Amino acid sequence: MTDENFKYCIFPVSLIRGAFSDISAVIDCIFKYVVFKHTEKLKHETELEKMKAAANVFNITFGCGIEEALKAAKRLECNFDLKTPQVRLGKDMLWDYYKNHKDEFSIACFCAFCAIKSILGNKEYAKTNKRFVVARMFGKTGREEKPEYPETFSSYSDASAYLGKRHGVNCCSCGSIRNAAVNGTLPVERPQKNSVMIERSALDKWFSENYSKSQSVSLEEKYATRYHIDRVLYELQMNWGLKLYSDHSRGFYLSFTKELKDLAVVNELAKRKHNELADIKRNAKEEALKILNRK
């Protein structure tokens, strides 16, 4: 791997979930994931030595310390599906969003940029639609997702991880849940002296009452509207290098490497094939009707 490769970070699109709530925390998770992932290629004796070496390779320093960063990176798989499509972003862009304040629209553009990168993958262009882009903006695969969650949780950390999976990174800390259990606002059973049993239904009710509707969900609904997603896609076309083309077809073609005229050609060829197939089916129907009329 060349030095040029270390200017980029490759990570699952699921890690951007929660970006609207705390973009810096999200990017911190991305950096930890990228560094930890690189340790798989190193041959140092201990995990901590590998983590230190990998952090040096990417020139990333963790404020929490390398040992805590290692622990946090290993916990990511508890809060995120790390097998979602990958995003490849320049490290400079990530640092910019980590260090500098960004308004909601700027974060929306960042998330849409990540979404489209994950849709393209290694392809020069892809066909998609607004609904799919919005799903990826919020760290989803775009498929109809119906995750299965346990009915009860036996620790505050498990309850926190569950809320994190549903509503984004740093959604609700173990301490907040523990305090709610202590003051009685969250019903908790204690089958044994040093154990807890938290019903998922009770946890959901407590969360909705105390944190209202999660910001991630409400913003997903917002950007699913035509006006807001069109604003984001327009900005990406004007200032982020996106090429997007659609003409009398469902969805649209997009690319960061192809020219607009190339996408127009792809679109027209696809329509031509569709029309040819429609002609074949229409002719087949006419032949079938002739046969039936002769009987």
pLDDT digit string, tens, across residues 239-279: 999 999 988 778 999 999 999 999 999 988 887 877 777 77
pLDDT tens digit sequence for 142-192:
765 555 678 888 888 888 888 776 665 556 778 888 888 888 888 888 766
Domain ranges of the chain: 3-137, 152-216, 259-295
204-225 average pLDDT score: 74
Yes or no: say if 82 and 76 are a contact pair by the CB < 8 Å rule.
Answer: yes
pLDDT at residue 241, rounded to an integer: 96
User: The tokens 């990417």 sit on which residue?
Assistant: 58
Burial per residue of 232-257, b for 16 or more beta-carbon CB atoms within 10 angstroms, e otherwise: bbebbeeebebbbbeeeeeebbbbee
Cα-to-chain-centroid distance, residue 219:
14
pTM: 0.73
Residue 205's pLDDT band, with cuts at 50, 70 and 90, is confident
Residue 280's pLDDT band, with cuts at 50, 70 and 90, is confident
The residue ranking higher by pLDDT, 2 or 142, is: 142
> Which residues are CB-neighbours of 68 under 8 A, at least 6 positions away?
62
> Which residues are CB-neighbours of 223 under 8 A, at least 6 positions away?
108, 134, 137, 229, 232
Rounded alpha-carbon distances, angstroms, from residue 145 to 166, 213, 249: 11, 19, 26
In angstroms, the CA 283 to CA 200 distance is: 57
Max avg pLDDT among 136-140, 201-205, 232-236, 291-295: 232-236
pLDDT at residue 282, rounded to an integer: 84
pLDDT tens digit sequence for 108-118:
999 999 999 99
Residue 120's pLDDT band, with cuts at 50, 70 and 90, is very high
pLDDT at residue 44, rounded to an integer: 77
